[in-house]
Structure 1
């Protein structure tokens, strides 16, 4: 019913029509060439055009390239495996289903467009060998593998050429617009934090969630810049590096908001005015130069020191540490924003290099969030679905059983990345049934009258263009893709076309059963609610926090922190309903902002300049923090013994600090303990009242 409402409300734009007509031209061109070359299954050419259809040239080209690569890998593996397995059906079923599951597992760990190649190499093997067995008397496995590669290659070339030549649309301007919007959001959030700290318990979690979620999406979108001719062509790594550095600024913002929350009891007219002045001055300082120079990255205005002198005069002694910590966070924020803007400035100027004083965080395989548990479950679901379909095919001797096995392998792969793929599979199921109705009309009422290719192209135009119009809209893309791909594939277009009603209904029924196999397998093995997925990500968060306890500040620390911010971006994309989980998701971001203080404590504990008593207290604090995060990871709550131990250790640390002679170390330790206590321990019920640091 929801889909029907969206269809009724659907009004295609001019860009949607351009995209649909371009896709139709590419589809007909690919089909015509396949007919001329007399390939075995020309339907794969037009089907591939529908599968890789995308309004943006770069995204289409990248998907096309990875599809060719995945098909090539699958074809080679199919040719290598099948001759040795054809006479051992159960070993055949085990190996093929195992290959599909293994490739899917690897693809789910790679959160880039490259994952499409890995997934495709899995089910391509299944499709080639199943077709080879079905036509074993007419064609060899090599002929089928070669034909499939050629059919895919023709479709890819036609799609890429048409997309690049006819009114090309690029992803570069979209990325540029979203990056600018992200930078503006940083400024707005900074201003909001400084201008509204007097509000009771101000909540900026939604604003930060939007920024972190956008950063995760932009990281994947940037990969497509390699494959287009926009102004940002080839800027994938610089854009991703800018996003890594932007993650540092986000943690600074969260840390500043937490410090200002601590100053709430101190809020008054004078303090609010000082913060408002600070906000205006910082934003003016950040934007005063249209062009940043490398020597200006770590520059600060002397005026900021005067403002903080005023702030310290407006708070009591107990909050001087908080103001000093806020000052340090602001300094880091200005520095990180300067780096982000400097890199973005270089990107727009066509520069791919970085200054020596900017340490790149980008690695060959970035430390972003990956869930091995989900990947394993997805792989197992694909194995079970494919194996069961093959088993039914083998035991029944059903000629159309190969179609059921194909659909089981394909469907269990293409929808596994979704947390709960069942709703999408239902759309696939009902969309497939609707597509068969459309195909029935074409096959038995229209195609018998077709004798020329131009006639075929003409009668296919309404269906192909309509389905592509749906693909152009995110909320209708799944339905459009199902209708388009299933329709053109079920038409089974050949140079020597023959109508066989029995085979038609047999194949359609087999395809429906294949979808059902995938649906059942995914439902019992892979499907997760958003709450369950969020809980798993939170467990990974606390595991990362545990590692941060003994991590020194440096490139390694910043790379790990980038991974944690990315994980929070993924976490914020989950539509959870539980208030407790929503609160835990917000706490995860606040806790992440305090990891730099965990790093400082680690460095101080290893220093020979502090007293043995303080050093021992910091060692005990680290050990207790590890226990804290381990309990939050495993049980979701903190045991009473750990809670009491934290309070005792904090009291001992503050007592040891009183007699610390080195004033610099004393101040740094006070700030880090304050930040950890307020940003991490407060979430488990430990407040300043428990330890009374000023006593």
Structure 2
């Protein structure tokens, strides 16, 4: 009953109605062609149009391509497997369940829109096999697979043509606005960090939003290749821009940490910060059309401003000030790189200048959770096995539909931490659809004898439910209602219905998702807190790995994956204050991970003295042990923490005998950053400074 009020209060907008009418036209067109070709299950053509429906033309076209490819793979696998194992039902069930599980596992690891191909390949095989067995006396598995491919082909072509020709809405304009907003947010955070003494309480949420947005836009950019918009074909360039934006997030957090550290010692240096901010901002605003040769340029006043800062700072602040200087320099270089890429994108130029070290890889450097993927695959396999065994041993005629819908429902929402609530809503929609279907079957459909009559009677309910699709809270109920309604009617070109079969099919549409709910609940479902803890464990594993990756392109790719993981982490709606704090600290720790990589770089430097090299190696080993402990339990044992601090002091003592001043400065900065940003150890506030702040 929770959605009754929103549904009653729902008033579709003009864009909602345009989307509904376009999708309904595509559905009717697909249904008409399926009738004309006398396909076995025309309902799948209509149902596929509903499944791939989306307000943006590029997303419809890309989903159409991925769905067609997935269906083709699933059909081929069904053709190969069915003749071999049809006489061994139990073994065949295990093979199909394993195939669904493997496909879902790969799909969840991919984390790009193309993952749809793998998921679809899994449950399409089950659908073709089930339909073939159900019609074994009249159709071969090849006929079923071919029919399925034809039904999907008709549906996706109709969807793509209608979506791109009738009032098309392109994703490019939306992404342009979202990218610009992200760049504006970055500028706003930079201003707060340098000019607002209380910035630490106001910028964290904004940075978390930036990390979420970059992850979202990265996935959406794939669809640009499938639409005619201002950003068509700019997927790779836009994704590279987003990688560079992620680097600026690390710069901003590092800057904030250094300024917080400086503030704890003395605040006189802040007199110069507004002038530094103004000069940096003027420089960045002047870089409107950046050429590749200008990427490493700095403001003419940069060294002068930091000399003024150094004059105002105390001796204790000099190391943190040097680190701040490096962070701001890297920030400006990254922002200029982003401006260069954005300018090229806006002008329709796909090339990425050679001077830009690209972070885009053939296999995207995104966060992947193998544990969740494995548990989802196991749940999908077990749900598939249970549904097939019920079908085999019950002899239920509509059992084939139950098995099909089990395979579909156990896969489609597997990306959520806990798909059970959404699947319960799916079941509720299926129940509502069953009652509506029976009303249509007994009252309306007996009077339908022509296609125009069918279109007329389907229009009211279809248009009403389709207009809810652009509204995520309502789509969760509208989609299963419409899909189950269309599937349960089992529309044929003879315009007749079998009441018993219809009720059986409607019941199968409810039982299938219930099996999925039970399997997911006991095997896969997890709370946001559990999911966040898993991601935090992977975060500390990545921190440990960074110890052995010297700074370079490979490290920047590794850092990009860590920042993407932070973006995913910030989508978790956790209630625990302890976990919330750990999530905030993870972003700060990620900003300083470059200092771990520098240790590996220092250890390969032949100019280091043996004493310093041995001290750094000891520190590297104690850091590895600390991150390994946090990976297992998130809480660092006090003994390990003290060991790290002891080894940090040992490195500092070794620096006293080091003759190379440049190495001493660089190592000192890294030790300072590791202590303050990774282990969150800050110097105590001096009494005079505390009194000054109190005043």
- State the TM bucket, normalised to the shorter chain: over 0.9
108-117 vs 285-294, greater mean Cα deviation: 285-294
Distance 1:72 1:142 in 2: 12
> Is the 8 Å Cα contact of residues 401 and 510 (structure 1) preserved in structure 2?
yes
Question: Would you say 1:161 and 2:161 are equivalent positions?
Answer: yes
In structure 1, what is the equivalent of residue 690 of structure 2?
A: none
> Is the 8 Å Cα contact of residues 35 and 42 (structure 1) preserved in structure 2?
yes
In structure 1, what is the equivalent of residue 134 of structure 2?
A: 134
Question: Would you say 1:125 and 2:122 are equivalent positions?
Answer: no
In structure 2, what is the equivalent of residue 179 of structure 1?
A: 179
Distance 1:87 1:289 in 2: 71
> Is the 8 Å Cα contact of residues 626 and 636 (structure 2) preserved in structure 1?
yes
Q: Residues 552-605 of structure 1: CA distance to partner in whole angstroms, max 9, x if unpaired?
A: 111000000000000110111111111111111111111111111112222222
Distance 1:352 1:389 in 2: 49
> Is the 8 Å Cα contact of residues 470 and 479 (structure 1) preserved in structure 2?
no
Question: Would you say 1:55 and 2:55 are equivalent positions?
Answer: yes
Distance 2:201 2:315 in 1: 24
Distance 1:327 1:305 in 2: 9
In structure 1, what is the equivalent of residue 688 of structure 2?
A: none
In structure 2, what is the equivalent of residue 217 of structure 1?
A: 216
> Is the 8 Å Cα contact of residues 534 and 571 (structure 1) preserved in structure 2?
yes
1:289 offset after TM fit, Å? 3.1
In structure 1, what is the equivalent of residue 600 of structure 2?
A: 602
Distance 2:190 2:178 in 1: 18
In structure 2, what is the equivalent of residue 396 of structure 1?
A: 394
Equivalent runs, 1:243-392 vs 2, <5 Å: 243-266=242-265, 268=267, 271-392=269-390
- Which of 672, 675, 678 in structure 2 is aligned with 1:677? 675
1:267 offset after TM fit, Å? 5.2
> Is the 8 Å Cα contact of residues 681 and 687 (structure 1) preserved in structure 2?
no
In structure 2, what is the equivalent of residue 474 of structure 1?
A: 472
1:455 offset after TM fit, Å? 1.0
> What count of residue pairs does the alignment treat as equivalent?
685
CA RMSD, Structure 1 to Structure 2 (Å): 1.5
> Is the 8 Å Cα contact of residues 434 and 503 (structure 2) preserved in structure 1?
no
- Which of 649, 652, 655 in structure 2 is aligned with 1:651? 649
1:295 offset after TM fit, Å? 1.8
1:355 offset after TM fit, Å? 1.7
Distance 2:93 2:526 in 1: 27
Secondary structure of the residue that 2:356 maps to in structure 1?
A: coil
In structure 2, what is the equivalent of residue 522 of structure 1?
A: 520
In structure 2, what is the equivalent of residue 87 of structure 1?
A: 87
Structure 2 length as normaliser, TM-score? 0.97
Q: Residues 466-495 of structure 1: CA distance to partner in whole angstroms, max 9, x if unpaired?
A: 111111112222222111211111111001
> Is the 8 Å Cα contact of residues 266 and 315 (structure 1) preserved in structure 2?
no
Q: Residues 76-108 of structure 1: CA distance to partner in whole angstroms, max 9, x if unpaired?
A: 111111112111110111111111111111111
In structure 2, what is the equivalent of residue 693 of structure 1?
A: none
> Is the 8 Å Cα contact of residues 104 and 378 (structure 1) preserved in structure 2?
yes
1:203 offset after TM fit, Å? 5.2
In structure 2, what is the equivalent of residue 227 of structure 1?
A: 226
Question: Would you say 1:620 and 2:618 are equivalent positions?
Answer: yes
In structure 2, what is the equivalent of residue 208 of structure 1?
A: 207
Secondary structure of the residue that 1:470 maps to in structure 2?
A: coil
> Is the 8 Å Cα contact of residues 261 and 682 (structure 2) preserved in structure 1?
no
Distance 2:379 2:270 in 1: 57
Q: Residues 335-358 of structure 1: CA distance to partner in whole angstroms, max 9, x if unpaired?
A: 001001111111111112122211
Distance 1:403 1:265 in 2: 67
Distance 2:288 2:346 in 1: 13
216-225 vs 615-624, greater mean Cα deviation: 615-624
> Is the 8 Å Cα contact of residues 279 and 299 (structure 2) preserved in structure 1?
no
Unaligned runs of 5+ in 2: 686-695
1:517 offset after TM fit, Å? 0.5
In structure 2, what is the equivalent of residue 199 of structure 1?
A: 198
Unaligned runs of 5+ in 1: 691-695
Distance 1:687 1:187 in 2: 27
In structure 1, what is the equivalent of residue 693 of structure 2?
A: none
Distance 1:264 1:5 in 2: 52
Distance 1:658 1:7 in 2: 72
Distance 2:551 2:73 in 1: 42
> Is the 8 Å Cα contact of residues 34 and 45 (structure 2) preserved in structure 1?
yes
In structure 2, what is the equivalent of residue 110 of structure 1?
A: 110
1:266 offset after TM fit, Å? 4.7
Distance 2:104 2:464 in 1: 31
Distance 1:399 1:2 in 2: 34
24-33 vs 203-212, greater mean Cα deviation: 203-212
